[in-house]
Amino acid sequence: MPGDQCTRFDRCKYGAMSARGVTEYEFNLKLATSVKDELVRTGFLSTYLMVPAPGSSLQIRVDRAAALHADFSISIHHDSVRGEFLRPWKFDGHANWYFDDSSGFSLHVSTKNVRYNESVDLAREIADQLIAHGLHFSTAHEPKNPFGARMPYIDASRGIYRRDGLHVLTRAKMPAVLLEGGTIVNRDEEIEVSTAAYRSRIATSIATAITRVCGFATSVANDRPSD
């Protein structure tokens, strides 16, 4: 369950570990819940919060979103860096790992998605709203940065990356965007990301973006993948 410790280099079924040893799963679930609540408050007809079991098949997640007939799929994550770039430190008497040289949100879209153009439109609207709410995007995943995903931009002015290897984006039957809500291995950003105020800014940004794209008569599958 969340709270289990994962080793530095091994793949963890709960996602990345924060600088203070909190699982990405916990950050993802809290943010995804905030997004769902804001969408409902805004007036969307149907909003689905999918919380798949850690380690569950990515295809199962895609199939669930399709079965819900969702108009959009938004996958919620939080960022880390490649294991070899993490640095050791102690927090509350426990050994942990951090990387303070990267921060910010990022958005990811697949050119292989059957609704690619609409995916990009949604990602751009989300980015614009996040920036308007005072957030900045991460450059960690640029090819020149060895500690990130090393992927090309789709929109370099908004922090939107091309990710054709992510199953939940490439196989989705609807427009799909993956959001990295912040960098939890950054010790300062982890504190900010942990606050309800920060989650509210992201949730409001997403709800406003979806409203601008297509209005209220839509449904959203808010996928909170854990890996």
Give the mean pLDDT of 56-85: 92
Residue 50 forms part of a structural domain: yes
> What does the alpha-carbon distance between residue 186 and residue 170 come to, in Å, rounded to a whole number?
29
| Residue 69: pLDDT over 70 | yes
Residue 7 forms part of a structural domain: no
Residue 3 forms part of a structural domain: no
Residue 85 forms part of a structural domain: yes
> What does the alpha-carbon distance between residue 114 and residue 110 come to, in Å, rounded to a whole number?
9
Spatial CA neighbour of 168 closest among 36, 74, 104: 74
Q: Tell me the pTM.
A: 0.90
Q: Where are the beta strands (DSSP E) in 80-192?
A: 87-91, 94-98, 106-109, 153-155, 160-162, 176-183
Q: Give 2's pLDDT tier (boundaries 50, 70, 90).
A: very low
Residue 208 forms part of a structural domain: yes
Q: Give 3's pLDDT tier (boundaries 50, 70, 90).
A: very low
Give the mean pLDDT of 120-127: 98
Per-residue model confidence (pLDDT) at position 50: 87
Q: Where are the beta strands (DSSP E) in 145-218?
A: 153-155, 160-162, 176-183
| Residue 6: pLDDT over 70 | no
Which residues are CB-neighbours of 127 under 8 A, at least 6 positions away?
107, 137, 155, 158, 159, 160
Over residues 138-194, the pLDDT tens digits come to 999 999 999 999 999 999 999 999 999 999 999 999 999 999 999 999 999 999 999
Q: What is the mean pLDDT of the chain?
A: 90
Give the mean pLDDT of 86-111: 97
**Tokens 């609540």 -> residue:** 37
Q: Which two tokens stand for residue 53?
A: 């079991």
Residue 16 forms part of a structural domain: no
| Residue 116: pLDDT over 80 | yes
Q: Give 51's pLDDT tier (boundaries 50, 70, 90).
A: confident
> What does the alpha-carbon distance between residue 206 and residue 218 come to, in Å, rounded to a whole number?
14
What CATH number has the domain bearing residue 76?
3.40.630.40
Burial class (CB in 10 A: 0-12, 13-18, 19+), 42: middle
| Residue 219: pLDDT over 60 | no
Per-residue model confidence (pLDDT) at position 52: 74
- How many distinct structural domains can be found in the chain? 1
Per-residue model confidence (pLDDT) at position 7: 57
Residue 163 forms part of a structural domain: yes
Q: Which two tokens stand for residue 179?
A: 């959001």
Residue 103 structural domain:
24-223
Q: Which two tokens stand for residue 198?
A: 């920060």
SS3 207: helix
Cα 37 from chain centre: 17
Residue 140 forms part of a structural domain: yes
